A and B are shown apart, each in its own frame.
Chain A
Amino acid sequence: MTEVLDTDYDNRIIRVQTGRTNISVTGAVEEDGFFYAPDPSSQLACAIAGNIAMNSGGAHCLKYGVTTNNLLGVTMVLMDGTVVEIGGAHLDNAGYDLLGLICGSEGQLGVVTEATLRILRKPEGARPVLIGYDSNEVAGQCVSDIIKAGVLPVAIEFMDRPCIRATEAFAHAGYPDCEALLIVEVEGSDAEIDAQLGVISQIARKHNPVELRESRSAEESARIWLGRKSAFGAMGQINDYMCLDGTIPVSALPRVLRRIGEMSKDYGLDVGNVFHAGDGNMHPLILFNANTPGDLEKCEAFGADILKLCVEVGGCLTGEHGVGIEKRDLMGTQFSDEDMVVQMRVKDVFDPDWLLNPAKVFPLSASESHRAAQSEVAA
């Protein structure tokens, strides 16, 4: 199911079958100057159906939002085989926002076969500025000051020293050897970009950066993005790694990075941090050796501790990868039993026999006792 069913530039929508990859949605409209905004790093491979199931985002969601903000309608097969249309080419719903409920439900409510997506006209241009700091606190403060100044960058990316060093050794992007690196990208005409980068650079200078490099051309932009885009590959060169996906309030960044550093020493495992700083979505990469007995278990325990920390500072377990099986047993750190029961009751409505991805999202102990209670009521 990979076809484009309708492309409608007047109404700025595209309708696709949901097996189509994320990047090929943009691919279908980019010659005409349009794009589909959510751009998860896995966009070469990931399907729109999966994006809907996980409410995927990407680097640009500070400005453009995540999947749920760009999804207008779906065709969904319900558990009894009924096919329903929810939403469509118009905006908002007549009754309850079922579209919002389906998005991010990890395939537990029905099978989405077609989707109507919002497409946007490409901006005239985009260019980043690279800013290096000697402290995570200062970098975090700079992000906060940029946002407070009224500029809305399309992306604010953050990398810490372990990540900078690894990518530098791998991709030779010319990054400074510093504690924290920011890549801030803005969009518009050349003059608009210059003006916004001017405001950002002025703010950045007040915090005494060790490096500040405004891109003046497509080549310079590509060079600035090179390291960030090869970060996962670079870390993979060093060792096996596990990528996490917790989200934190941006203000908690320095505290969280400090604590991750301490935990890294305790566990004896290195970690590099790549972070969508504009929206708080962290992707810590924990390095381990799959051939060393016990390393994977240690890595998983470390990962769980980082996710608990994300919740403790006011964030969440997963920003865009989903709970799945891996994180289901951590749900209790974020939600009370009652919070989870209400969610499980939603599943009861759509899938009374719990046949769709039944083992995902909820701890098995919780879903089993909930279902036992339900069947008692029914009996």
Chain B
Amino acid sequence: MLSPRDERDVSAAVAAAEGPLRIFGGATRQIGNTVVGEGLCTAGLAGIELYEPGALTIVASAGTPLAEIEAVLAAENQRLPFEPSDMRGLLGTSGDPTIGGVVAANVSGPRRIQAGACRDSLIGVRFVDGRGTVIKNGGRVMKNVTGYDLVKLMAGSYGTLGVLTEVAFKVLPGVETRASVLISGLTDAQAVAAMSQALGSPFEVSGAAHLPIGEVGLPLTMLRLEGFADSVAYRAGKLTELLSGAGEISVETDPERVRAMWQELRDVAPFHGRAGDVWRVSVKPSDGPGIAARTGGELFYDWGGGLIWVLLPEGTDLRARLGDFAGHATLIRSSVENKARFSVFQPEPAPVAALCAGLRRQFDPKGILNPGVMG
């Protein structure tokens, strides 16, 4: 296995590679197809290169543990806006998630609907392309249209366009407190309507999820508010008023309990330790309940109804059940065989797939960077 200590090592390793490389950080998010090749672990490229709390900017080497970044930010009462998930519980992996892995998979949690995805906070990258050349793009400022935005392209490309060596983020202030407005007993359609109403209000909802079977066996709809204490209390009151016709409403104000409930949702805890395949479906929120009904699986909604996590018996062809739909389904957890059989990522229309293949050839002409991981 290759264990580069710095960017130059990565460059030399890629330039010298004669066969496929299996690139990983903490190997906790093994989502794509299995790659057969020599391992290249980026965990040796660790360390925070720059952190300016007053400029809301952090730059770190790609192998830096996510936990270290979050701890350094928390010490200044700041945070990554996009609330990256921890996939170890769902995928049964161990090890330390790295910030480069978060970027490679464009990971984002419940706050995606308010603060954007990982790619929205990512403002700069350095990477080694398939020729072994060190490339930089973006930088450390949040407004930048100098040249093409390869920063976004690298996010979610699962190491197939280059080996990330350094990433830069815009971060956000932390919050004084948080609360959840909880509604029980809604059908999926009623819940999505209520979430749409809340997200279309001026009350800055930072999470909107629906569990058709909540903790006590009844449907539970959750709306999260974050900020200064008085403001959170005010907005919780306003939301309760706005949704008063929707069902039985209560407000959870214990910040620790609120944190825990959204973390469970973020990490897909309802499916931990449960057998079967796990799919992640992204749709227009109002399409959510109709699409969900077609899955035939156990499920819950995040992103105001726009993200559906589905648990199905192993080997179920979800895409066949859904047919043509606007959005995409990703097979997050399954056997190696089923991942290869169904394709992990939603197949793209031919002209789009051709563009993607063209980009891959340009960035990785030898076809050695995580080949096949995205299908």
Contacts and interface: CB of A to CB of B under 8 A. Distances in A.
Interface residues of B, number: 83
A249 B145 contact: no
Interface string B171-210: 0111110000000000000000100100111100000000
Contact of B196 (A11, A249, A322, A331): A11
B143 A276 contact: yes
B139 interface: yes
Contacts of A95: 345-346, 348, 352-353, 356, 374
Interface in A86-122: 86, 88-101, 103-106, 121-122
Interface in B67-109: 76-77, 106, 108
Interface stretch (A207-215, A225-233, A345-353): A345-353
Given A88-B284, A121-B200, A97 B348 contact: no
B261 interface: no
B136 A319 contact: no
A84 B145 contact: no
B176 A248 contact: no
Contacts of A99: 152
B153 A97 contact: yes
B142 A279 contact: yes
A150 B143 contact: no
A10 B196 contact: yes
A281 B284 CA distance: 34
A267 interface: no
Interface string B109-120: 000110011011
Interface in B114-140: 116-117, 119-120, 129, 133-137, 139-140
Given A94-B345, A95-B345, A247-B144, A339 B52 contact: no
Nearest to A90: B327
Contacts of A349: 355, 358-359, 362
B265 to A, nearest CB: 16
Contacts of B56: 147
Given A82-B351, A89-B326, A191-B230, A9 B200 contact: yes
A234 interface: no
Nearest to B157: A96
Contacts of A61: 142-143
A143 B54 contact: yes
A250 B193 CA distance: 41
B356 A103 contact: no
B148 to A, nearest CB: 5
Interface stretch (A63-71, A174-182, A235-243): A63-71
A94 B351 contact: no
Contacts of B193: 10
Given A247-B144, A316-B146, A345-B362, A101 B153 contact: yes
A68 B106 CA distance: 15
A101 B137 contact: no
Contacts of B359: 96, 346, 349
Contacts of B54: 143-145, 147-148, 250-251
B336 to A, nearest CB: 20
Contacts of A8: 286
Interface in B256-301: 282-286
A10 B55 contact: no
A318 B152 contact: no
Contacts of A85: 349
B328 A343 contact: no
A88 B54 CA distance: 35
Given A61-B142, A321-B145, A96 B351 contact: no
A314 B146 CA distance: 13
A11 B330 CA distance: 22
Contacts of A65: 116, 120
Interface in B318-375: 326-328, 330, 345-349, 351-353, 355-356, 358-359, 362-363, 374
Nearest to A341: B133
A314 B147 contact: no
B337 to A, nearest CB: 21
Given A94-B345, A195-B231, A150 B147 contact: no
A7 interface: no
Interface of A: 8-13, 33-34, 54-55, 57, 61-62, 65-66, 68-69, 78, 82, 84-86, 88-101, 103-106, 121-124, 143-145, 147-152, 188-189, 191-192, 195-196, 247-251, 276, 279-281, 314-323, 327, 331, 334-336, 338-340, 342-343, 345-350, 361
Given A62-B142, A95-B353, 13 more contacts: A10-B286, A96-B153, A96-B156, A106-B145, A145-B54, A148-B173, A151-B173, A249-B52, A279-B141, A279-B142, A281-B141, A317-B146, A350-B355
23 contacts: A10-B200, A11-B196, A12-B199, A62-B142, A82-B351, A88-B327, A90-B306, A91-B117, A92-B117, A94-B347, A97-B106, A98-B355, A100-B155, A124-B202, A144-B53, A148-B77, A247-B142, A249-B52, A250-B52, A251-B54, A315-B140, A316-B144, A342-B150
Interface of B: 52-57, 76-77, 106, 108, 112-113, 116-117, 119-120, 129, 133-137, 139-153, 155-157, 161, 172-176, 193, 196, 199-202, 228, 230-231, 234, 282-286, 303, 306-307, 326-328, 330, 345-349, 351-353, 355-356, 358-359, 362-363, 374
